[in-house]
Structure 1
Amino acid sequence: MKGLEVEWRRTDSKTPVHLYEDGESRPESQHQDYHDRAHFFTDQIQHGNFSLRLDNLRAEDEGRYTCKVYSQQDFGEGVVEIRDVEHLLVTGSDESISVSVGEDTTLNCSVDSHITPEHIEEVSWKKTDEDEDVLVLLYQNNETLSDSSDERYRDRVEFFTAEIPKGNFSLRLKSARTEDKGVYMCQVFAGGLSANATVVLEKLGEP
């Protein structure tokens, strides 16, 4: 390994992805887009394996990557292409929602992706308390499983059924109670991918 340098870069933009030099990885040389996402398999380096693991793959990672190897005696390179990255984007409310006791409210959750609703394996709404996650409503295998809801929410929550084909899994919460305040998470599983969005329900006042 003495005098060996291995350099991974984006072929199109020459963006530095990862570098091995002077016997060690140089994460400080990475472009910020790859910081904490691109890693060598450290136990394989001694065997001359400088394969790269890229975590949290994004659609913008699509493209060609060049691995260049320099040694005192030789030089070589290889090219790898990433294409057709499946992505799953889930969006909720950007701002907190306020509602009075007894009122109905809507917690937003939309799936923005090329993955069609029939390929969505599961959508779960949970209230994320400090000590536990409370299941609010579950959608699985193309149906809403209302019976799985925690008793605190049973018969008070529903999806907008007609909106599901559009990827809209917003939650309707009826007859709000003071104890409903808190953080709610909408988590979506599809095609081996998962993503989530959170919505904050503000402290509730009397009507």
Structure 2
Amino acid sequence: METALMRRFYLFLSVVICNGFHLHGPSDPLIVQLGGSVMLPCFVETPLPTEELEVEWKKTDSETLVHLWQDGESRPESQNQRYHERAHFFTEEISHGNFSLFLTNVTREDVGVYKCAVYTKLDSDETLIEIKETERLIVSGGHVISAYAGEDVTLNCSVDSNIPLENIEEVSWKKMDEDILVLLYQEGEVLTDSSHERYRDRVEFFSAEERNKGIFSMRLRNAEPEDKGLYICEVFSGALSANTTVEVLLGKHFYL
């Protein structure tokens, strides 16, 4: 009796071991560009029986169902609407053990960790894949300002970036035609003493709250005739840099 039970146990154990599998995925995050496409690898070395095979892709932070393979076919009707017609299986590769997902038109909301989970009749496994947005630095605000001497003017400069404020090492405003440093932000501080004496006490950034939003516009008070010209706002973050320019035109008041 005991021998028969042991045989059945070893038979069951051998079936589980034979049907056991291990999912493979990338060890490093996948770096993608917004608007581009990316393949999220998920595969086994030995093909699995397709009977009762289920493949489930989810975004881990929200448990959003990205895509589902069930009952021998893709189930796009089960997808979260945000991934509809953007997330696809390589259908012909499923039977070969390739459960990778192809994601098109990547958005910022797509960035995060994804789980590829595979279920068979006797076993299951999962692997995690992270998508990261490629670092970029975009500075906007270029425009022409027309004002009169004695007025206050605002020179716009905004950082549109996935880089957090603490990683922005420096923002400088310079008057290009004279190569004068007008205003400097460096390592989290506004260094007003670095301003050229002609601009000292007349220029300022907006509030710290605005800088937290990436706004590094400069307010120039009591504009003088010598202030007219071309200004450049330069932003530095590690190996990345970007800039925008603003031209200031000044007129004179005429009194009758």
Q: TM-score range by the shorter chain?
A: 0.5 to 0.7
Which of 159, 184, 190 pairs up with 2:237? Answer: 190
- The answer for the alignment partner of 1:52 in structure 2 is none
CA distance in 2, matches of 1:60, 1:201: 34
Instruction: Give yes or no for contact 1:177–1:204 (8 Å, CA) kept in 2.
Output: no
Give the percent of matched residue pairs that are identical in Structure 1 and Structure 2: 57
- The answer for the alignment partner of 1:134 in structure 2 is 180
Match of 1:99, SS state, is: strand
CA distance in 2, matches of 1:109, 1:145: 17
CA distance in 2, matches of 1:142, 1:205: 38
Q: How many pairs does the alignment contain?
A: 129
CA distance in 2, matches of 1:63, 1:187: 31
Cα distance per residue 1:98-139 (max 9 Å; x no partner): 11111111000000011111110000000100xx41100000
Task: Give the alignment's TM-score, normalised by structure 2.
Answer: 0.47
CA distance in 1, matches of 2:151, 2:204: 15
- The answer for the alignment partner of 1:163 in structure 2 is 210
Instruction: Give yes or no for contact 1:125–1:135 (8 Å, CA) kept in 2.
Output: yes
CA distance in 1, matches of 2:239, 2:36: 18
- The answer for the alignment partner of 1:205 in structure 2 is 252
Q: CA deviation at 1:60?
A: 6.2
Match of 2:148, SS state, is: coil
Quick one: which amino acid aligns to residue 101 of structure 1? Answer: A
Match of 2:242, SS state, is: strand
CA distance in 2, matches of 1:105, 1:190: 27
Q: CA deviation at 1:204?
A: 2.8
Quick one: which amino acid aligns to residue 180 of structure 1? Answer: D
Coordinate RMSD, CA, aligned: 2.1
Instruction: Give yes or no for contact 1:182–1:200 (8 Å, CA) kept in 2.
Output: yes
- The answer for the alignment partner of 2:148 in structure 1 is 100
Instruction: Give yes or no for contact 1:183–1:200 (8 Å, CA) kept in 2.
Output: yes
CA distance in 2, matches of 1:173, 1:124: 14
Cα distance per residue 1:73-120 (max 9 Å; x no partner): xxxxxxxxxx74210000013x31011111111000000011111110
- The answer for the alignment partner of 2:163 in structure 1 is 115
Instruction: Give yes or no for contact 1:62–1:84 (8 Å, CA) kept in 2.
Output: no
Task: Give the alignment's TM-score, normalised by structure 1.
Answer: 0.58
Q: CA deviation at 1:61?
A: 9.4
Q: Which runs of 5+ in 2 are unaligned?
A: 1-31, 39-131
Q: Which runs of 5+ in 1 are unaligned?
A: 1-57, 65-82
Quick one: which amino acid aligns to residue 182 of structure 1? Answer: G
